[in-house]
Amino acid sequence: MQIEKNVPMPNTRADYPYKYMEVGDSVLIDHSCGNLGAAQAYAHVYGRQAGRKFRTRTIPEGLRVWRVA
């Protein structure tokens, strides 16, 4: 193995639109967006921090996230 210096880390943080959603809105996160499990977890973590509630369901197209409160 070779040690390398000054190699930038790739940006792996996805920008999910949860903070812009209103009650009744939903968003489809398809398989091309990366890790659906991470998107689901972030919806619940963000909801807890922001005082909002989200519901998620895995569907054939990917992950659907609804804002419910």
- Pairing state between β 62-67 and 26-30: antiparallel
Query: Looking at residue 21, what is its pLDDT?
Result: 96
CA angle 26, 29, 31 (to 5 degrees): 155
Q: Please report the pLDDT score of residue 53 as a whole number.
A: 97
Query: Is the whole-model pTM more than 0.95?
Result: no
Pairing of strands 62-67, 54-59: antiparallel
Q: What is the mean pLDDT of residues 7-11?
A: 83
Span 18-40, pLDDT tens digits? 999 999 999 999 988 878 999 99
Please write the tens of the pLDDT for every residue from 47-68: 999 999 999 999 999 999 999 9
